Structure formats: C-alpha cells, structure tokens
Amino acid sequence: MTWQPAEDRYARMTYNRCGKSGLKLPAISLGLWHNFGDDTPHALKQSIVRKAFDLGITHFDLANNYGPPGGTAESAFGDILKTDLSGYRDELIISSKAGYGMWAGPYGEWGSRKYLIASCDQSLKRLGLDYVDIFYSHRFDPDTPLEETCGALDHIVRSGRALYVGISSYNSKRTREAVEILKSLGTPCLIHQPSYSMINRWIEEDGLIDTLEELGIGSIVFSPLAQGMLTAKYLGGIPDESRAAQDKSLNRDFLNDRNIENIRKLNAIAEGRGQTLAQMALAWVLRGDRITTALIGASKPSQVEDCVKALDKRDFTADELAEIDVYAKD
Ligand code: NDP
C-alpha cells in the first residue's frame, strides 16, 4: 500500500520566516549528511524521512558529497521522493550544495562556475528532480573570484535549476561581499548555513549572527547537537551504534572526562527544565528568534521525535542561560 503522511503534520511544527524573504522554514530541519549512505538500510532511511515529514519537517538538506560514498544520500532521498513523497513536492524544501571534493581532477571541488553548475546537474539527476529549492556554495573558495561563484549561483537560479541560493560557512566579511554581489545580480542570498551550538559559538564571536540579522538573511544552523555530544547518549560510555563509535566525523577525543562531566551538568539543567539534553540544546540555538531553523541529523526516527519536542519549551530564564554558559564552553 502507498504510504500516506500524517494528516495532522502541520499541527505542531513552528514555521519561521527565512530572513526577509517570502519563504518559511520549519524550526527544525533534517539533514542527510550521515545515515543516508550505502551503509544504512534503505528501510531505516525511509522511516527517518517519513517520521520527519509526519512531524511537519518540510525541509530536507543535502549536498553532493553526502553518503558514503558521495552522491548516495541524494540517490537514496531521490528514491524516497519517488516512492513516498512524489505527490508532495510542493510541500517540500529540498536543498543541495557544492564546494567539497566530489570527483577527480581540477573541476570537482571549490567554487568555480564549471564545478558548481556541473555538480548541480549531477545532484538533480540523483534526486530525480527538475529543480532544488535552495542551492548553496558549500564553502568559500579563496582562489576563485567571488563574482564567479556568485555568478554561477545566479545562473543556477535563472536557468531553473534552483529557486533560491545560499552560502555555507562563509565568515561575516565574506558573507557581506557575497550578499552584495548576489544582490547586484538580482538573485538575493536567501540563507546562510553555519555551524552553531552551545559549545560552538563562532557565529557570535565573528559577528556573523549580527550581520545576517542586519542584512535580512535567514540562518540554518548545522550540528546544533554537536554531532550527538549535546545529548545524553555518551554519558554512560560510547554506544556501539553511535557516530563516535563508528569513527565517522565525531572525534572520540572530544569525549574526554572533562567534557563528559560538563555534558553531565548540562544534562542536569535540561532535566530541571523537564527536557532531554537534545531538546535543551535545540531550544538554546533557537532562543531569541535570531536563528530561522536548527538543522539536525538523526540515525533513527525516535531521535527526530525527541528533537521536535524541543519546540514545547523554548524559553530560558537568565539564570538558566548563565548556568549553561558555565558548562558549555566553546
Ligand atoms: P547534529 O548535531 O544534530 O547531530 C546528529 C546526531 O546526533 C545524530 O546522528 C545522532 O547521533 C544524534 N542525535 C540526534 N538526535 C538525537 C536525540 N534526540 N537523542 C540522542 N541523540 C541524537 O547534526 P549533524 O552533525 O548530523 O548535522 C546535521 C546536518 O547539518 C547534516 O545532515 C547536514 O545536512 C548539515 N551539515 C552541514 C555542513 C556544512 O558544511 N554546511 C557540515 C555538517 C553538517 P548518532 O548517529 O550517534 O545516533
């Protein structure tokens, strides 16, 4: 039988305006960086995406290189779109990116027009789509004129391959430059995708968060759970199925006694608020309404469920924020 999404899927999610644009994004979005490659059973990937959509998560974030191997997360999501979500394309915001190494030779990474346009075409093919909603320059390229990178993004929109464009991990200075160029080309920058969490506050120190607010650009913050560190999962050791155990991108060295002790303290603060630590970490990045959406990853549907409940309690007292600052150090 064909899968049917929950009828009440829009009942509980909050949708935030993305900067000064007309687009709204769910307060929690789902990224497919991990757990969507060839090493994960298809049924599990499908169940994570279904759960997310059922809970009102309309935004799915991909990139050319997500897998492993690179490209397979887009192919898997393309298959799920076909079997489960083909009738819901207009309810979805699907993004992809290019910037990191994707194929051999001088044209398979960074920010040239050659790479960005070819990579976007490859992504569309894997996803089985005519267009993505948002296409990103995944990282600033110090050796390519920003005019060329932004010109390629503009072309990607004008040629119908994407509806909006964004940039990822650009610092405040480069963001201002890119936003200005894109504006002059007539393709406004919709969104910025930086990392941000209680233990990674570079966007505050760099001033990027102020810049985005000033320029009316939306923000989607990745790794708000610090890849799982800001959850209770590592308090009793390293579980076999966790990201840290699988030697993926989360370095076990971060899970040292001092950090675990701090996470234990943060967990106690979360418990005092009646939340899981994951929920508190998400509420924290979303506090004050300066961040459009928190971009989580998940290795099972129950994690998505747990994370979305963060929206039930988003406010913090000044004392709670001060106590979090004691234990959540950058
Ligand atoms: P998170 O910080 O949300 O970490 C996700 C991991 O946390 C999960 O895989 C899971 O770990 C654990 N987790 C999630 N929810 C819970 C829960 N409720 N309870 C316990 N554990 C939980 O984000 P990611 O680092 O995965 O990044 C999210 C997305 O951001 C990516 O998929 C990608 O789309 C984007 N991204 C963008 C980058 C860029 O350069 N633009 C770079 C990195 C990410 P486990 O697997 O161990 O169960």
Backbone angles phi, psi at 138, to 5 degrees: -75, -30
Give residue 276's pLDDT. 98
Task: Give the ligand 1 atom nearest the CA of 229.
Answer: 7
Q: Is residue 253 part of a domain?
A: no
pTM of structure: 0.98
Helix axes 301-308, 42-54, angle to 10 degrees: 20
With a 6 Å cutoff on the Cβ, whether 281 touches ligand 1 is no
> What are 97's strand-pairing partners?
136
Q: pLDDT digits over 246-278, tens only?
A: 877 888 888 888 999 999 999 999 999 999 999
Is the pLDDT at 202 greater than 80, yes or no?
A: yes
- Residue 75 makes CB contacts below 8 A (sequence gap 6+) with 126, 127
Q: pLDDT digits over 107-166, tens only?
A: 999 999 999 999 999 999 999 999 999 999 999 999 999 999 999 999 999 999 999 999
Q: Is residue 240 part of a domain?
A: no
With a 6 Å cutoff on the Cβ, whether 298 touches ligand 1 is yes
Tokens of 217: 């650009």
Residue 29 alpha carbon to ligand 1 centre in Å? 11
Q: Report the run of H or E that residue 165 belongs to, with start and end.
A: strand 162-168
Give residue 320's pLDDT. 97
Task: Give the ligand 1 atom nearest the CA of 307.
Answer: 18
Is the pLDDT at 101 greater than 80, yes or no?
A: yes
Residue 83 alpha carbon to ligand 1 centre in Å? 25
ipTM of the shown complex? 0.99
With a 6 Å cutoff on the Cβ, whether 33 touches ligand 1 is yes
Residue 224 alpha carbon to ligand 1 centre in Å? 7
Residue 151 alpha carbon to ligand 1 centre in Å? 31
The stretch 212-219 carries a mean pLDDT of 98
Q: Whose CA is nearest to atom 34 of ligand 1?
A: 31
Give residue 293's pLDDT. 98
With a 6 Å cutoff on the Cβ, whether 108 touches ligand 1 is no
For residue 297, give its domain range: 15-227+288-313
Is the pLDDT at 226 greater than 70, yes or no?
A: yes
Q: Whose CA is nearest to atom 42 of ligand 1?
A: 222
Q: pLDDT digits over 230-249, tens only?
A: 999 999 999 988 999 987 78
With a 6 Å cutoff on the Cβ, whether 299 touches ligand 1 is yes
Q: Is residue 276 part of a domain?
A: no
Q: Is residue 254 part of a domain?
A: no
Q: Is residue 297 part of a domain?
A: yes
Q: Give CA–CA dist 97/281, Å, rounded.
A: 26
Confidence tier at 310 by pLDDT (50, 70, 90): very high
CATH value at residue 186:
3.20.20.100
With a 6 Å cutoff on the Cβ, whether 32 touches ligand 1 is yes
With a 6 Å cutoff on the Cβ, whether 51 touches ligand 1 is no
> What's the number of domains the chain is made of?
1
Q: Which amino acid is at 319?
A: D
Residue 32 alpha carbon to ligand 1 centre in Å? 8
Alpha helices in the chain (DSSP H): 42-54, 72-80, 113-127, 146-158, 172-185, 202-205, 208-215, 257-272, 277-286, 301-308, 318-327
Residue 159 alpha carbon to ligand 1 centre in Å? 32
Q: Is residue 249 part of a domain?
A: no
With a 6 Å cutoff on the Cβ, whether 225 touches ligand 1 is yes
Residue 155 alpha carbon to ligand 1 centre in Å? 31
The SS3 assignment for 110 reads coil
Residue 225 alpha carbon to ligand 1 centre in Å? 7
Give residue 329's pLDDT. 74
Residue 255 DSSP code = G
Is the pLDDT at 330 greater than 70, yes or no?
A: no
